[in-house]
Amino acid sequence: MERPTGHAHGPSAPRLLPWPSPDGNPCYLVTDDNGSYLSRLADDMEAVQLATGTDVLGHARKVLDDPASPYAEVRFAGLRLAECLSDALRVAESRGMRVPVPDSGYADEN
């Protein structure tokens, strides 16, 4: 998917939402209103996902720092870290897709 340019013309680029569809596919929102209910809900969900990642990382560090941690606890920590990393990568991708690419001011010379 192309990143938006610095122009304010035309429809906005689709926003990757922080949750998948019921069948696991990416969900997108197309709107010119970044303050819409669904946009605010997505912003709130991203904030919760990132905060959860911070919490899980803190707990996982404690488990991983203890060489006597049982296998089940280490595995559980790893699974939760993988979930949080997936969420954080989706947030990063969504936000990166919404960063406008500045116009260079030069026409392509082909």
pLDDT digits (tens, 9 = 90+) for 13-72: 899 999 999 999 999 999 888 889 999 999 999 999 999 999 999 999 999 999 999 999
Query: What sections of 22-70 are H helices per DSSP?
Result: 37-65
Chain position carrying tokens 């699974």: 79
Sequence-distant (6+) residues with CB within 8 A of 14 are 1, 28, 29, 30, 97
pLDDT band, residue 2 (cuts 50/70/90): very low
**Range of weakest confidence among 4-8, 12-16, 84-88:** 4-8
- Which residues are CB-contacts of 99 (< 8 A; sequence separation ≥ 6)? 3, 4
Q: Is 35 exposed, middle or buried (0-12, 13-18, 19+ CB in 10 A)?
A: exposed
Average pLDDT over residues 76-103: 93
